[in-house]
Structure 1
Amino acid sequence: MSRSLRRGALAATAIVFSIASLSACGAGNDAQTLGVRPDNAAVTVDDVKIQNALVITQPTAGAAGPAVVSATVFNNGSAPQTLDSITLAGASSPVKLKAAEGTGPITVPAGGSVVIGGEGNASATIENGREAVKDGGVQELVFKLSQTGDVSLQAFVVPANSYFKEYGPTVIPQPPTASPTATATATPGHGGEASHGATPSGEASPTAGH
């Protein structure tokens, strides 16, 4: 290769690296990149992988109401599995599972996945969530699958704000509405005025003979 060709090749390579570097910087600072949901708890046992596991509570601190478990369950096996239960280790609060469609169990298809949490997806609801978990803590979750058995991991407990709003509880209690206070009113007499029937006391009666 001639000296001039080598110089041209080196110059082209330098331009390609410069463009790639600028593109990487731009991708790292755009709105889509900054809006990526943070990584959360993940675990793999045999053919099952669970990732992005969270316990999501009510959006307002201290508010009563249900919490939910949000996660994605992958099945890399050749046969489907059902998610039989999710339990909170060390807590007595039950977790109610509901498939995205119908009334049957949550099924994780072979070679597929199931999203738990969010509109149109399967759900896992903790009815008395505020009593069972606290924001900012870490809760051990145990997923029981029909073939793999128990799969446990530690999940963060977060309120349904920011990244987690669309995966939070669908039932958000509203504050009670104050009822109007009844006001006592006087009964009007004749002509719309209060009636006077009694004679005022303390006044002297006129004496006959004066």
Structure 2
Amino acid sequence: MSRSLRHGALAATAVVFSIAALSACSAGNDAQTLQVRPDNAATAVDSIKIQNLNIITQPEPEAEGPAVIAATLFNDGPKPETVEKVTLPGTDTTVELKPAKGKGPLEVPAGGRLVIGGKNNASAVIENGRQAGTNGNVQNVAFTFSETGDIELGAAIVPATSFFKDFGPSALPSAEPTPSPSDSASGTTGEPSDSGSPSGTTTDPSASDEAATADDAAATH
């Protein structure tokens, strides 16, 4: 066999082994963890790690409503840390923090983690979602911790669709229906009439006068 043929055979064998290895990995016990997911911002400062950071807006581009910040915070230190505030540097946007249950600060336990965003988790809400920025852009987010201080990193701005659907904000409630002008003009409010007459009956004054005249004629005869 020539040298070029041997090299070609070795290359083909390497490709076969690579495909087999990937197939074996994807068929493992936790194959779902190998699914392709969007790139998320992450950083580490001292004992604090921030992962999976995103700003998630309304699913429809023109929709009004809040936006939220989603992230997972890890604390490898010996003491719990409190998230004192979250801001968007360069903007006047206010971020409202709420714990998963009850009232109080957002705390990252020592040796534990805190998930922000998603059902039954803590939340960081931007009431005016349009102030969060435009989908596809990157907005800096600054976390202030009680021990570590400020940690700032960029977050992708994404709509609450696809992978981010379950972590997105709630839409504003729809407005209650108002009476149409025709209903207001006719006075048909749906309330019962207080005229004292049974519904569907009318009183005709001329009919009463004719009945009285007939009675008088009968009396004269």
CA contact (8 A) 2:98 2:106 kept: yes
Residue of structure 2 in register with 1:106 after alignment: 106
Q: Which secondary structure does the structure 2 equivalent of 1:139 belong to? A: strand
Match of 1:48 in 2: 48
Inter-CA distance 24–92: structure 2 relative to 1 (3 Å threshold): same
Which secondary structure does the structure 2 equivalent of 1:24 belong to? helix
Q: Which amino acid letter does the alignment assign opposite residue 38 of structure 2?
A: P
Q: Give the superposition deviation at 1:63.
A: 1.2
Q: Structure 1 residue 115 and structure 2 residue 115: aligned?
A: yes
In structure 2, what is the equivalent of residue 84 of structure 1? Answer: 84
| Identity of matched residues, % | 49
Distance change >3 Å, CA 165–CA 181, structure 1 → 2:
same
Secondary structure, aligned partner of 1:163: helix
Cα–Cα, structure 1 residues 61 and 181, in superposed 2: closer, same or farther, change >3 Å?
A: same
Q: Distance in 2 between matches of 1:24 and 1:89?
A: 42
Query: Which residue is 1:69 aligned to?
Result: 69
Distance 1:179 1:156, change over 3 A: farther
The residue identity in structure 1 corresponding to 2:160 is: A
1:180 aligns with 2:180: yes
Q: CA deviation at 1:102?
A: 1.7
Q: Which has the higher helix share?
A: 2
Shift of 1:35: 4.7
The CA RMSD over aligned residues, in Å, is 2.6
How far 1:34 moved relative to its partner? 7.0
Q: Which amino acid aligns with 1:172?
A: A
Code of the aligned partner of 2:158: V
- Gaps (5+ residues) in structure 1? 1-16, 192-210
Change (3 A) 1:128 1:182: same
Query: TM-score, normalized by length of structure 1?
Result: 0.71
Give the superposition deviation at 1:23: 1.9
Spell out, residue by residue over 1:153-205, the C-alpha distance to the aligned partner (whole angstroms, 9 max, x if none).
Answer: 00000111110011111x312454464331667xxxx98xxxxxxxxxxxxxx
Shift of residue 49, structure 1, vs aligned partner? 0.3
Task: Indicate the SS of the match to 2:61.
Answer: coil
- Confirm or deny: 8 A CA contact 1:63 1:130 kept in the other structure: no
* Contact preservation (8 Å) 2:55, 2:132: no
Q: Say if 2:26 and 2:34, in contact at 8 Å, map to a contact too.
A: no
Amino acid at match of 2:95: V
Counting only pairs closer than 5 Å after superposition, residues 1-210 of structure 1 correspond to structure 2 as 20=21, 22-24=23-25, 26=27, 32=32, 35-169=35-169, 171-176=170-175, 177=177, 179-182=179-182
Whether the 8 Å CA contact 1:40–1:155 is kept in 2: the answer is: yes
Conserved? CA contact 1:62–1:130, under 8 Å = no
Identify if the C-alpha distance between structure 1 residues 24 and 94 changes in structure 2 by more than 3 Å, giving closer, same or farther. same
| Matched residue SS, 2:166 | helix
Aligned letter for 1:111? G
Cα distance, 1:104 vs. partner?
A: 0.8
Q: Which runs of 5+ in 2 are unaligned?
A: 1-16, 187-202, 205-221
